[in-house]
Amino acid sequence: MLHLYTSANHSCTQRCILYVFTTQILMTQITQISGHGIPLTGNDIDTDRIIPARFLRCVTFDGLGEKVFADDRSQAQEKHPFDQPQYQNANILVVNNNFGCGSSREHAPQALSKWGIQAIVGESFAEIFFGNCVAIGIPCVTADRDTVQQLQQAIADHPEAPMTVNLETLEVHCGSQVFSVQMNPGAQQMMRSGTWDSCGQLTAQSDQIRATAAQLPYLSWQTN
């Protein structure tokens, strides 16, 4: 596989762009997300809350950003962090336990992404949500409860403080404070190498795919 590396600067992120010729897909290495934080407290925030099901009546992900947390926001009457003026330029979400539980809808991370979120720090993530985030290039890093709460407080106290999630050092910088975080090693490797969009890697293995299929007895059984 031929790789050509060039570098590019995003307004909020430091990224390196990688072209994978075999699949014609533009892949981006993600090593660091810089910008500002937004705290969202609460355990078990499910994907129905992130994007209520009625907004899934669509054939593209366009427009989902405006609907993120639609019901929670309307009930909080402008007091939801996603509506508060101090967080309107935020791109790093800080959440608590079991964030993204429930449905497998990729619409949830897509809605967060289209609102502007580029990385998530949390105590823990639901499995399918985590995988969906990886697949669209949103790194999710974890930290213990005290660390997350300190980080949420630090952001609330100083929303203007610059914040960085570094996937190489596994550190989060918020103003002058530094916090250690963890990341699933596979996801970390995929972000850093720019292979978080797995489609290219998977389709490149067509011979091995056919060989594995040939070994599976049920693919050749008679059904009539």
Partner 1 sequence: MSKGTLFDKVWQAHTVSVLPSGQTQLFIGLHLIHEVTSPQAFAMLRDRGLKVLYPDRTVATVDHIVPTENQARPFVDVLAEEMMQSLEQNAKENNIRFYNIGSGNQGIVHVIAPEQGLTQPGMTIACGDSHTSTHGAFGAIALGIGTSQVRDVLASQTLALSKLKVRRIEVNGELPPGVYAKDVILHIIRHLGVKGGVGYAYEYGGSAIAAMSIEERMTLCNMSIEGGARCGYVNPDETTYNYLKGRDFAPKGDDWDKAVEWWNSIRSDGDAEYDDVVQFNAADISPTVTWGITPGQGIGVAECIPALDSMPESEQAIASEAYKYMQLQPGQPIVGTKIDVCFVGSCTNGRLSDLREAAKFAKGHKVANGVKAFIVPGSERVKQQAEAEGLDKIFEAAGFEWREAGCSMCLAMNPDKLQGDQISASSSNRNFKGRQGSSTGRTLLMSPAMVIAAAIQGKVADVRELVS
* Residue ranges in 18-47 that form contacts with partner 1 under rule CB under 8 A: 23-25, 42-44, 46
Three-state DSSP at 218 gives helix
Using CB under 8 A as the binding rule, whether residue 208 contacts partner 1 is answered as yes
Q: Which of 151, 136, 135, 48 is nearest to 95 (CA)?
A: 151
Of the candidate residues 60, 77, 85, 176, the single one contacting partner 1 (CB under 8 A): 60
Q: How many CA atoms lie within 13 A of 138 on its CB side?
A: 28
Using CB under 8 A as the binding rule, whether residue 124 contacts partner 1 is answered as yes
Which CB sits closer to partner 1, 11 or 223?
223
Task: Provide the 10 A C-beta neighbour count for residue 53.
Answer: 11
Return d(Cα 157, Cα 170) in angstroms, integer. 23
Using CB under 8 A as the binding rule, whether residue 176 contacts partner 1 is answered as no
Burial class (CB in 10 A: 0-12, 13-18, 19+), 59: exposed
Q: Of the listed pieces 5-13, 146-154, 163-171, 191-199, which binds partner 1 according to CB under 8 A?
A: 191-199
Pairing of strands 25-35, 13-20: antiparallel
Using CB under 8 A as the binding rule, whether residue 195 contacts partner 1 is answered as yes
Q: Of the listed pieces 9-17, 48-56, 84-92, 167-175, which binds partner 1 according to CB under 8 A?
A: 48-56
Return d(Cα 96, Cα 77) in angstroms, integer. 22
Using CB under 8 A as the binding rule, whether residue 186 contacts partner 1 is answered as yes
Q: Which residue, chain included where needed, has tokens 């979120």?
A: 117
Binders of partner 1 in range 136-175 (CB under 8 A): 136
Using CB under 8 A as the binding rule, whether residue 199 contacts partner 1 is answered as yes
Q: What is the smallest separation between the CB atom of 27 and partner 1, expressed in angstroms?
A: 12
Using CB under 8 A as the binding rule, whether residue 77 contacts partner 1 is answered as no
